[in-house]
Every structure is written in structure tokens, then in C-alpha cells.
Structure 1
Amino acid sequence: MTVQIPFDNSYARLGPGFYTKQLPEPVRAPRLIAFNQSLAALLQVGTGDLQEMAEIFGGNQTPQGAEPLAQAYAGHQFGNYNPQLGDGRALLLGEVLGTDGKRYDIQLKGAGRTAYSRQGDGRAWLGPVLREYVVSEAMHALGVPTTRALAAVATGETVWREGGLPGAVLTRVASSHLRVGTFQLFAARGEIEALKTLTTYAIARHYPQAQGPMGLLRAVRDAQAGLIAAWMSVGFIHGVMNTDNCAISGETIDYGPCAFMDAYSAEQVFSSIDRMGRYAYSNQPSIAVWNLAQLATALIQQLDEPQAAVEEATAIIHAMPSLIEAEWLRLFRRKIGLSAVMSGDLELVSDLLQRMAEGRADFTNTFRALSDGGAREEFDDPTVYDVWHAQWMQRRANEHGSEALMQRCNPVYIPRNHRIEEMISAAVSGDFSLFERLNRVLATPFSAQEGESDLRRSPASNEVVRATFCGT
């Protein structure tokens, strides 16, 4: 075997209560669609011939040093607690230490049935695999903490959903796959020693400066607060912010029915399963606080003086909304070219967003156009923008270099929903050119690229994507 992966598997050493070990299910005809060479270099993953790479990242061959396992966890799904979830279609191959000194999980997603699959087939079809590959790598380029994509492999098999669809496997990379739901599993079962082991492990792996369970809670709070603000700043809607999709590392994880807004709306929902708008764009901060409260409830179970811990945890949680707002304002202040902090900035940003909602202005294009004088054209009624523009110019009177600041903070390109759907349709027919093009352009999202202006365009009325789907 010429593909070498320097595994060092700490999670596997925690014990069988945390996972179920098993091998991936082989696929019929694996074919490598994409391989992330720069990420492979970071992970110190040596490459081999294309067929061998397809066999490994399709699940047909287990590389030396791997210890494939499906992780166990529970979680709240749309507010309802499920005591047994776990990796139903994913297997953690193992961990590596990157050239940056950090530890990373390497996981196959779509690798077949596991002990936690319930009624599922454990497979993934091509569309969600390509979506997660493109969107997660785009998020990384945008500077938003995220899991990443190392490889995508077509399986040569049919996956059955509403009909037959081409199968695929994604190789996902994360700082870890520890979730709020991982802690909930052991707390709900009353397995206190396992909960303590998990807490100690999480602190050592992610937040070595944290002191005890409440220190971990505070660290997760800060990481999640920064993540949510970052999502909001690029118009991203996760779509399924269940506690089993909330990584304690503060990374974006589980790109299911996710989407980026086109026209701005605080109430925007894309997920086809979010019928009540629980995870709408503007609800994401409050849901992050709710998720943190579930983590606190789990962590407290291991403490000898739970009442004192409840008081401390309550204070930690109650501080989260203001942390999110402060980071949100810092990011949006920069998006409108303001580096100095002044009173009234929150109202100035909020007023722009309200006018964008009224004028059906494109979120990404409006903010980018502030630096070149074209923002007015994004509004259905440009006069809606004019009043705000006058106030903004007055506020910017003493700012220097604001155009350059805005260009550094406001992307030219995002993974627009209609382009993602177009990419998937083409790939199902065997054409991966748009997939490759999106990956190339989105790798440098803050710079206009020659010949790529169509990727900046808002969708035409017949291109608007109104619902996105999980794909499971």
C-alpha cells in the first residue's frame, strides 16, 4: 500500500462504551472524484495511485494504523430528545497530527450501515457529498471554522431515496467529532465515570487551559459564539442545529440542508424539514444558547455540588447572547468599512439590514458593492437605500482605508444555492466541470476573478432554490 496515513488514534483508546468498532462496507466500483492535495499535505497524508486512493477513501481498503469506529451520541432533534443516535452512516478511520501540531479526525461519510443506522442504509448519494465538499471548503476559504473535505469517491452503486441515485463517499476532516450530544448520551444514562472521562478528554484535546467541567462549558460557549456570528456575517443558514450537530470545537459540522441567503431576510429558512422555522437565520443565536444549556445540563451531572454548578452554569449561559452580539457587531462593523468603535453602530447596521429586507437586496452582493459604489443598484427601490447611505457617509467621515477593509471582509463569491443545484444535476449526468469550477473559484472568494462574473449573480426567478434537503 503506497498511501500512508500517520494515524495516532486517541479516541479509540477511550474504550468501547464510546463507539462500536467495525470496517466500512465495500463498494462495487470506487472512483476518485476529488482529492484535496493542500489538506492532505497539512495532514501528512501521502498519496498513491488514483485507484488505490479510490479504494481507501471509498472504504474498500483499510489503511495501516486505522481503527474504524462509529461514534455513539444522543441529541435533541428539533427540541425533542433522542437517547440513541450515533454515526449511522459514518466511520472514523482515525486521527492524525497535522504539520500545524493540531490533531484531526479523518472520517468516511457514507461508508455503510453501522450499529447506529437504525432503519437507514448507511450510504450517501452523490448530491449531498458534492454539496458538503464544496460548501465546507468554501467556508474554510471564507475564514469560518469548519470541518473540511479531503476526498470524494463515486461508489458505482445505486442509493435508493425517492428513486435511484448514484452513490458516493465523502472523507471529512474535523478537529474532532465530539458533539453536545456525545455528553448528553452518558449524562442521560447516568454513566458518570464515562462522562468524566469524556470531559477530561475534551479539555485536553480542545481547551487545555480550561479548568474542569465549567471551564469547558465557558470555552465551548466562546467558540460557539464566534462561530454563530461568523455564520451570520456571510449569510449562512445551517438548517439543522440539533445538539448532535453542534461540535464542541466550535466548527461548522454536518452540512445537510444548509444554504446561503440570496435576498436578505431575517426569517429565511431553506431546510425542508424545518417546517416551523426553528433554525431560521435570525434564530441561530438563540438556538446556540439553547444548545449550550443542554451541554451544561449534561456536564453538571458529574459534579459533587450540583447546585453551585447550576448557578455558575447559568451565569455562563446568560452571558452568551451578549458575546454573540458583540462579535456580530464587530464583524458587521467591518463589513461596512468601520474600524473605530462608536455608539450608534448597532443601529446603523440594523437599519441597513432592515432596508435590505424591504428592498429585497442580495445579502452578499450588497455588502460587496458598498466598496465600489454599486450597492444602490441591489435594491428594488433604490431610494430605500439612499437615506441610509447619507447616514453611513457621515459616520465614515473619519475612517481611513474603509474600501480595502470592506473588500477583505465581504466576499465576491459564495456557494449560491442555484449553482450548487446546477452542479449536482450536472454531476449526476457525469459532468463534474462545474464542481471543479466552483471549488477553484470559491478557494479565493474575496477576489474578483476574470471570466467568473456569472457566479456572482443572484438567481433569476426560475432559479430560486426554496428548499434544501438533508440527503439521508
Structure 2
Amino acid sequence: MITARGTISGVLDSEGLPAFERIYAGLPERFRAEALPSPPEAPLLIKVNEALAAELGFDLSHIEPVELTALFSGAAVPHDARPVAIAYAGHQFGNFVPSLGDGRALLIGEVRDRAGQLRDIQLKGSGPTPYSRRGDGRAALGPVLREYIVSEAMHALGIPATRALAAALTGDVVYRETVLPGAVVTRVAASHIRVGTFQYMAARGDEEGLRILADHVIARHYPDLADAPSPYTALLEAIVERQARLIARWMQVGFIHGVMNTDNMTVSGETIDFGPCAFLDAYSATKVFSSIDQQGRYAYRNQPGLAQWNLARLAEAMLPLIDADTDKAIEAANAIVVGFAGQFQTAWLAGMRAKIGLFDASVDGDLDLVQALLTAMEAGEADFTRTFRALCAAAIDPAADAAVRAEFSDPAAYDGWAAPWRQRLADDRRGAGERLAAMRAVNPAFIPRNHRIEEAIVAAVERRDFGLFERLVAVLSRPYEDQPEQADLALAPQPDERVMRTFCGT
């Protein structure tokens, strides 16, 4: 629901705003570039995430609607803020670009949330920065709504991700394949430091900059490592471990990022940049949605391997910090990166075991059982989310098999898998109620369906109708609940509704 217009331009001073800190802006100049948002033509606030705002210390009862609109559209910045664009490099589809940076985003500053944790607040789509490389620095309404919907859905699914604090129209137009309404999303993150941020310093041979950056990351995200015997080695280990767990969670809900470049991987372990992302409908290990991923580099099944590849690039950048002896540094870093595969496999199998209702991890054969199910699902074009959700009831009552069988083009493929599964369930003794609750807690009923997101975008862009957008945000905030009155949003797309390509929006 659209809430307010705003025209304030300049500095905003309201008693309802939290205190903005300038921590990243206080790093040496080569880490960032100062910039201001471009004044929007006719800003209009679409939505504020009120629960997140309260968590961050915003008192919305003391901020006028016109002030909120100005803040979240880039028409004004808080009086104590110091907006900066962050410098970084990155491997884009395997090709190294030594200088990228925030070309359409501005870090307004950091705030301390109610738990005392620092959180970045960033405007995305607020106009050009010194890193825009001839781009307009703007965002179109469609990608802003996609980021809002998907990032908040990921959070509700329990997957670390940046959050969406607000979305606003700017009143300007942006030119992509066609003329589109401009918009801004306000993004919240533990931080916006990426693998590419380390690569930026390494590409310049800036060992001092690497050390400053690593110390900053340790203080911000891994304070327990400050007193480790080898803190930078321990930092690499910690980042690898977090990424292994993160990618395992992606795979367990059928999420495809779509553009896993090194500048899109955070060192905090959060999912970031929801441009051409999508969720699986019918299961396919090789599925690609991103229109810019012409070779399938970031296909669903490739994500763990590409995450490890990205972490190897991080390790390369950090070599001068790990050991002054290059050979020793390479040996230590390589061992850490190689360890990603085992960490990912352990996290992934634990999650998949839970999805099919198993508790006892000491039994051999569960990996084969999971792989057999995925093979049957792919051959049978079974919907990923609906199949696993239907298994919840089937695990405690064979009469519920009908709902699972209905997801397969050849139900016999499920029947062949279900027999050994039921034997395994019988050996894994748990009460029916306990098993059902555990399975329903890891198998969502609702995901951000690609066709529904597209439907919401079309309604908003063409008719300024934000009804479906609002409905999706509300339903996806409770993805593990059945919500029978919203059952249509859990349906797989009909053949003519399938979205085959998603777009970055830059």
C-alpha cells in the first residue's frame, strides 16, 4: 500500500531516527568514495518494513510521512550520516574486473539495532556514484520489488540475507529495454563487505589496505578471532564455514542466486544481491533462470562448486596476511578452501535428512536415499517445494501418499522410492507428532514463486497496483504455516505461467 509522498531535499533531522554511525566512512579514502543521492523527481513511498524499522531503532510515530518518504527515496539524508559508495573488484562470470564498486548504491551509515549489533543501511537505486562507469545509478521498480519480496522471504525461511527496510518510487524514469518507473530499495545488512572488497586491495598490491580491511571484518563480524594465534587464517576459516552453511541452505529450499560473482558474496555469510534470482518449480539440477548466465555457470547444481571457487579467490587475496612465506601461505589457504566441500556436504545432508523426516545421523545410506529422491523428482518433473511439503504428511500416514504422487508425471517413480524410505522411517523411531512438526519446520509451504513475483511486478509497473506485492510479503513472512486462505500462492505455475528467464535490472 502506498503510504506517503515526500519532497524534502537535503538534510533530515528527526527525533524518531536512530543515531547513524560513520564507521566504514571513517576508513581510509581508498576504501570508498563520498557521494550523495540524486534528488528524486516526485518521491512516493511504497512500503516501510515496520517490524525491521523498530528493530533498528526507528520510532515511526515520531517521523512524519513526508520525512520517511524523503529518507527512503534519497531526497534527504540523516543529519549525522555520511553517505559513501564502497570500492570493490570482482570476478564477473569468471572474468576479473579490478575496479567495480557501488555504482548504484550508497551506504548511508551504520546503526546499532536493539541487540547492539551494527547494521548497514544502504540506498540502492539512488543515482550515480564515482563507480557508476557511465551507468545511471538508478533502479527500476521491478527489481526493487523483487529484492524486497525475495530478501524478506529468505529471512523468514531462516536463511541469512540482507533485509529490505523500505521501497519507494522516485518519480523519475529509467531506460532499460523499455522506459520504466524508477525506484529505490533501502537495504539492511550486517555489512556490505564482499570477497571483491578484498580483491580490490589485493589487485593494487595494497597489503596495508588488506590488513585494515581484515581487522575491520574481524571486529565487525568475528570478534572472537581477534586474539587467535593466527587471526587472518582463522578469519578465512570462519568465512569458508559460514558460506558452506549458507549455500547448503540455498540448495535445501531450491534457491538459485543467478549471479554468484565474487562481488556478490559477502564475508558476513549473508545472501546479497537478488537481481536475477529465482526458486525452482519443477526440480532440475541444471536449471538456470538468469538471462545473463548464457553458459549456465551459476546453474542450481553448480552453486556449491562456484562458492568454493569464489572462496579460493578470497584466499588468494588474503595470502600476504596468512604468512610472509608465500609457499606456506598457499599451503595453509588451500587446505582451508579444500575443506569447504566436506563442510558443505555435511550441512547439506543434515538439512536434506531433516527434510525427509530422519533424525538419526548414524545410519548409512541416507545420502543415497536423498539422491534417489532427487533423481526421481527430476525425471518426474516434480515441484521441489510442493513435493517436500507433501512428504510431511506422508511420513506419518501412507494414505497421504496421493498428494506426493500427484506431483510426479509418473507416480510409480515415487512409489519405488517410498518403499525404502518407509523402512528407514521405521528404523528411525520417533513419534508421529514430533516427526511431522520437525518436517514442517524445514519444508516451507510457500516460497516466492517466480510467476507470482512477475505478476506482482506487472501489476505495479503497469497499473500502480501493489496489492499482490503486499499479499506476497505478508504470506511469505510465515512460509512454514499452511495459511489455507492463501493456498493459491502455493500452487506451481501452469505451463503458460512459467517464468523461464529473470533479469538483473541494471
| Normalised TM-score (structure 1) | 0.99
* Aligned equivalents of 2:27, 2:70: Cα separation in 1: 28
Letter in 2 for 1:267: T
The CA deviation string for residues 8-58 of structure 1, in whole angstroms up to 9 with x for no partner, is: 221111121100011111101111100011111111123212221111111
SS of the equivalent of 1:195 reads: helix
Letter in 2 for 1:354: T
Superposition deviation, residue 285 in structure 1:
0.3
1:368 counterpart residue number:
389
Superposition deviation, residue 301 in structure 1:
2.6
Letter in 2 for 1:4: L
Written as runs of structure 1 = structure 2, the 5 A alignment for 1:12-161 is 12-47=25-60, 48-161=63-176
Superposition deviation, residue 423 in structure 1:
0.3
Match of 1:356 among 366, 377, 383: 377
Point out where structure 1 has 5 or more consecutive residues left out of the alignment.
Answer: none
2:438 counterpart residue number:
405
Written as runs of structure 1 = structure 2, the 5 A alignment for 1:307-386 is 307-341=327-361, 342-372=363-393, 373=400, 374-386=403-415
2:256 counterpart residue number:
237
The CA deviation string for residues 301-337 of structure 1, in whole angstroms up to 9 with x for no partner, is: 3442222111111110111111101100000100001
Letter in 2 for 1:297: E
* Aligned equivalents of 2:142, 2:101: Cα separation in 1: 22
SS of the equivalent of 2:441 reads: helix
1:471 counterpart residue number:
505
Letter in 2 for 1:288: A
Letter in 2 for 1:383: A
Partners of 2:46 and 2:168 within 8 A in 1: yes
Superposition deviation, residue 444 in structure 1:
0.3
Partners of 1:5 and 1:64 within 8 A in 2: no
Partners of 1:31 and 1:51 within 8 A in 2: no
2:23 counterpart residue number:
10
1:202 counterpart residue number:
217
* Aligned equivalents of 1:309, 1:282: Cα separation in 2: 31
Match of 2:424 among 388, 391, 395: 395
* Aligned equivalents of 1:414, 1:4: Cα separation in 2: 33
SS of the equivalent of 2:108 reads: strand
Indicate whether 1:289 and 2:308 are aligned.
yes
* Aligned equivalents of 1:415, 1:229: Cα separation in 2: 18
Partners of 1:43 and 1:97 within 8 A in 2: yes
1:225 counterpart residue number:
244
Letter in 2 for 1:364: T
1:268 counterpart residue number:
287
* Aligned equivalents of 2:153, 2:219: Cα separation in 1: 29
The CA deviation string for residues 89-142 of structure 1, in whole angstroms up to 9 with x for no partner, is: 000000011111211000000010000000210000000000000000000000
* Aligned equivalents of 1:456, 1:257: Cα separation in 2: 21
Indicate whether 1:192 and 2:211 are aligned.
no
Structure 1 residue ranges, 4+ long, deviating more than 6 angstroms after superposition:
none
Superposition deviation, residue 291 in structure 1:
0.5
Superposition deviation, residue 450 in structure 1:
3.2
* Aligned equivalents of 2:285, 2:252: Cα separation in 1: 12
RMSD (Å), alpha carbons:
0.9
Superposition deviation, residue 5 in structure 1:
2.4
Aligned length: 472
* Aligned equivalents of 2:371, 2:23: Cα separation in 1: 46
Indicate whether 1:249 and 2:268 are aligned.
yes
1:298 counterpart residue number:
317
Partners of 1:9 and 1:96 within 8 A in 2: no
SS of the equivalent of 2:376 reads: helix
Point out where structure 2 has 5 or more consecutive residues left out of the alignment.
Answer: 1-12, 394-399
SS of the equivalent of 1:380 reads: coil
Q: Give the stretch that moved more between structures: 441-450 or 8-17.
A: 8-17
Letter in 1 for 2:286: E
Letter in 1 for 2:154: M
The CA deviation string for residues 397-425 of structure 1, in whole angstroms up to 9 with x for no partner, is: 03312222111110000000000000000
Partners of 1:158 and 1:164 within 8 A in 2: yes
* Aligned equivalents of 1:314, 1:165: Cα separation in 2: 46
SS of the equivalent of 1:184 reads: helix
| Normalised TM-score (structure 2) | 0.92
The CA deviation string for residues 347-382 of structure 1, in whole angstroms up to 9 with x for no partner, is: 000100000000000000000000122211110010
* Aligned equivalents of 1:399, 1:124: Cα separation in 2: 52
